[in-house]
Structure 1
Amino acid sequence: MQRLIRAGLMFGNLFHVASPALVERYNRALKHLTGQTTKLTDFYVDISGYSPEVGEELGDDAYLNHAGVNRQFILLSVEQRTAPLLNTKFSTSKGILQRFIAENEAALFALTAKDAVAGELVNSVYDVSTPARLFDIRTVRVEADTTGGTVRDAERLGEMVSRFRDTPEGWYDDVLIAEMIELAGKTGDVVRNPVRLKQMSFEQRNFWTAHFGGLYVFQDVEHPAVIAPGGAPDGLPVDYAFDATQPNQIAHFLRLNGLVETIVEARGINSAAILRQRMDFILIDAVADEGVDLGGLTRADLRRLARRHADKLPPEFHSLGQLVNWAENGGRFPRIDSDDPVYFYTLRAADTPDAELVNMLLAELAPKDIRQLYICHKDLFYRTYARWPDAKKGYVVDFLTREYQVDKAGVRDALFGHEASMAPPAPPPLPKTGLPRQKKKPPPVPDRIADVGPWGAVRRR
């Protein structure tokens, strides 16, 4: 893993806690949340305030996330919002923290100037000892305050100020005035500079969890199901649960709910280039154990590797090659259905609110695409990376450093972005006395797709 760390591909972009003041604030918050402190004077934290170094010192990597639910967090600066979330247990946690910081940026900037903000992502579940408990999680609420209770005291002072103003006897209430003066010494002028954090809650209906081997829970779709690539545990309170041995059912579920589209159908992307790159990844995976030097490979080098090791190439390589030939040269359209091992390599998430979750699932179903695996499912990428031959590790680190790190936003947009529809805006409604409006004709479909359908029928087992 040292190679990943040196390249900034692991533990990258963490927030550096280096000054004595920040360390002291962190320890106050850590003591407040867990009853523990760190003796370290220099360490790095993620968006939630979790530090791998502190976890190693305490002998507890879950010191801010006991039982894997109700994750606690420590904010020392709003700059933490750009840091990754380590040891993720729920796919929604990072997005919730980012939203919370963005919505409260001004207040957090003021609060963290003097103290740390400690909080928790609260739901109604305190343990997930059984799979059914996951379905009791409906919403996640964010609770936060400084270790000194500044937000709580500011709310209390605000109530006192209102009582002082609204009560005729307020000017004669010496006790109330004394308490207001004392609290104002802690909070400042809450009338001119209110100190409050927005009460925020988030629905958690569709999500991934690391519990029970990794589950993708889809509740808020027309046809709910759980996708458990490693095998579905007993006791799931749903009618349908599919694992990696049931690609037909998974494909049918994704299509039925409109969650995916084929790469060749997607607008605004270079589908042939994406598919050809995936061919390269499959080729590298096939020859990594053959003692081949994988450093600095050109397109000509990759072609020579494919010819020299043709007997090692899996069916996925040849199926993608036929699809690229169709896209670039107008060759015969290959029939690829969900029984084909390359099927999930030809998909990406459709433009839905759950696109990020769906791309995460597709990365697990098509794990040889190392770029998508790294971008969409880092936890799985790191576990898989540890098992690769050294030659493949070197190739992957070099590729990601060269092709992804230099323009992360551009790569993500090229792979997963959705171009705005080119359809004209809908005409205004006709008056009731007008002629009936004719149905809009669907856009034309390319002949080759119209002849065979994008992939043919999705067969059921």
Structure 2
Amino acid sequence: MKRLISRGLMFGNLIEVASPALIDRYNRALHKLTGKRTELPDFHVDISGFSPEIAFEFDDLLYLNPNGVNRQFILLTTAQKTAPLLNAKFSMSRGILRQFIEENEAQLFALTSRDAVLGELDNTVFELSEPSRLYDIRKITVRADTTSGHIEQAQDLAEKIATFKSKPDAWWDDVLIAEMISLAKETGDVTRNPVTFKAPSFTQGNFWTAHFGGLYIFRDVEHPASIACGPKGPLGKLPTPYLFDLDDRAGIAKFLELNNLVEPIVKAKGTDATAILKQKMDFILVDVAATLGRDVPSRSRGDLRKLAQTLGSALPPEFHALNELVRWAEQGGAWPKITSSHPAYFYTLRATNHPDRDLINQLLAELSTLDVRQLFICHKELFYALYRGWPDGKKEFVADFLAREYAVDKEGARAALFGTGEEAMEEPAAPPDPKPRVSDERIRVVGPWGAVRR
């Protein structure tokens, strides 16, 4: 993983925590949430305050996410809104945290200037003993306060003020007045500067979870379904009408088409389809060469073309099908018929522009894992897992490509691949000197062709 870290492709854009004051605030919040404290002199945190170094210190990747259900968070600065979310168990967690920070930035900026803000993403489910419990998750509430209970105190003071204003003869209630004065010393004037958070609750109908081997849940679509990343048999009966796994290619294709969730790349407006398809072919070519023990050439199109000629019959059907599409786009001729049973089918699609665009592109990445660029952008957890098993030649090619061709213009690359939309799929670029500096041991732990036949 050193290649990825050195190029800012892993652990990039984390927030450094090095000052004694910030470490003390973090420890106070950490102790309140977990009963633990870190002894590290410096570390880095993601958007939720999770630190890979502290996870190594505790030997616990879930120290801020007990049972992997209700993600806890520690905010030391509003700058955390640009950081990634590591070890995500739900696809919506980072988006909710970022939206919460952005919509309460002024309040959080003031609060974090003197204290840490801590809390959790409460989805009212505390354990997942069986897959059906996932379907109880719909509304996620952000519950947050400072380590000193500033928000709770402010709410208590506001309630006492309301009582004071409405209660007859409140001027003679010495106890109430004394309590108000005591709280006001801690909170300030909440009548002029109310201490409350906006948008504390979010409704999520469609999402991905890492639990039970990975599961996509689509409830807020015309034709609901669930898609398991592993075998569907052990999941049993689920609340959605249909349950597919990744081997049910025809079923997934039909689900995507019936709900108008995907479109062919070659028909997408404003897209250089041939360039995208050629790049996918390059990724497939490199995978074959590295697997066969061949030298992987540079990113030169000429060298890659020579490699394709050398490999010949060793090239998989995905490569040939995409090549037929490129030939059709550039030269015309017969339309290549690629059905959902063909290995190349999902390589030819992208999500339509709808609220769950990122989720669909993540699913497509899982169905077309040789497209390493889309896999890295849309599904980092799977990218890192697969990367560990790749031959060195492929690792070097992919890391170099992502650093040189993608990281320099993430926003432009995403727009070219997936179209424009209101939400970005990716965190902003990592700083030139990527951090954290971690040891090897820490790294270790740490149918586009018309309607599908009905």
Confirm or deny a common fold (TM above 0.5).
yes
Partner of 2:34: 34
Moved more, 30-39 or 229-238: 229-238
How far residue 115 of structure 1 moved from its aligned partner, in angstroms, is 0.6
Deviations, residues 418-449 of structure 1 (Å, cap 9, x unaligned): 489xxxxxxxxxxxxxxxxxxxxxxxxxxxxx
> Using the alignment, how far apart are the partners of 2:385 and 2:159 within structure 1?
52
Taking the TM superposition and a 5 Å limit, the aligned residue runs for 1:71-220 are 71-167=71-167, 169-198=169-198, 200-220=200-220
Q: Distance in 1 between matches of 2:448 and 2:44?
A: 48
Question: What SS class does the counterpart of residue 148 from structure 1 fall into?
Answer: coil
Assess if the C-alpha contact under 8 Å between 2:219 and 2:240 holds in 1: no
Task: Note the alpha carbon deviations across 1:284-329, whole angstroms, 9 max, x for none.
Answer: 1111134444353311111101001112110111110110111122
Of residues 364, 367, 377, the one that matches 2:366 is 364
Tell me the C-alpha RMSD between the 2 structures: 1.7
Structure 1 distance, partners of 2:299, 2:62, is: 41
Q: How does 1:361-400 map to 2 (within 5 A)?
A: 361-400=363-402
Residue 283 of structure 2 corresponds to residue 289 of structure 1: no
> Does the 8 Å CA contact 1:143/1:199 hold for their aligned counterparts?
no
Letter in 2 for 1:163: T
Where does residue 231 of structure 1 map in the other structure?
Answer: 231
Q: CA deviation at 1:170?
A: 3.7
In 2, distance between residues paired with 1:228 and 1:33?
A: 32
Normalised to the residue count of structure 1, the TM-score between the two structures is: 0.90
Please show how residues 285-364 of structure 1 align to structure 2 within 5 Å: 285-294=287-296, 296-364=298-366
For residues 79 and 276 of structure 1, what CA distance do their matches in structure 2 show? 38
Question: SS of the residue aligned with 1:208?
Answer: strand
* Paired amino acid for 1:455: W
Contact 2:72–2:121 (Cα < 8 Å) also in 1: yes
Aligned equivalents of 2:30, 2:20: Cα separation in 1? 15
Judge conservation of contact 1:337–1:457 (CA < 8 Å) in 2.
no
More off after superposition, 295-304 vs 16-25: 295-304
- The answer on whether the counterparts of 1:71 and 1:120 sit within 8 Å (CA) in structure 2 is yes
How far apart are 1:54 and its partner, in Å? 0.7
Q: CA deviation at 1:408?
A: 0.8
Provide Cα deviations, 1:57-107, integer angstroms capped at 9, x if missing partner.
Answer: 112110111111011111111100000001110001111101111111111
Query: Equivalent residue for 1:458?
Result: 452
Cα gap change, 1:176 to 1:295, in 2 (>3 Å): farther
Number of residue pairs the alignment of both structures matches: 428
Q: TM-score, normalised to structure 2's length?
A: 0.91
5+ long unaligned stretches in structure 2: 423-446
SS at match of 1:348: strand
Aligned to 2:275: 273
Rounded Cα–Cα distance in structure 2 between residues aligned with 1:164 and 1:456: 68
Using the TM superposition, give the Cα deviation of residue 210 of structure 1 relative to its aligned residue in structure 2, in angstroms: 0.4
Of structures 1 and 2, the one scoring higher in RCO (CA 8 A, sep 6+) is 2
Which is higher, the Rg of structure 1 or of structure 2? 1
Note the residue ranges of structure 1 that are not aligned, 5 or more in a row.
421-452
Take 2:382 and 2:306, find their aligned partners in 1: how far apart are those partners? 31
Instruction: Give me the identity figure in percent.
Output: 61
Which residue identity is paired with 2:449?
W
Paired with 1:454 and 1:291, the residues of 2 have a C-alpha distance of 34
1:205, distance to aligned residue in structure 2 (A):
1.5
Secondary structure of 1:264 counterpart: helix
Which of 251, 254, 267 does residue 252 from structure 1 map onto?
254
Equivalent-residue separation in structure 2 for 1:229 and 1:167 (angstroms):
59
Secondary structure of 2:31 counterpart: helix
Q: Is the 8 A contact 1:217 1:225 kept in 2?
A: yes
Equivalent AA in structure 1 for residue 76 of structure 2 = L
**Is 1:13 paired with 2:18?**
no
Aligned partners of 1:52 and 1:263: how far apart in 2? 37
Q: How many Å separate the matches in 1 of 2:116 and 2:360? A: 35
Report the CA distance between 1:456 and its aligned residue.
5.0
The equivalent of 1:402 in structure 2 is 404
Question: 2:45 corresponds to which residue?
Answer: 45
- Indicate which of 243, 263, 266 corresponds to 1:264: 266
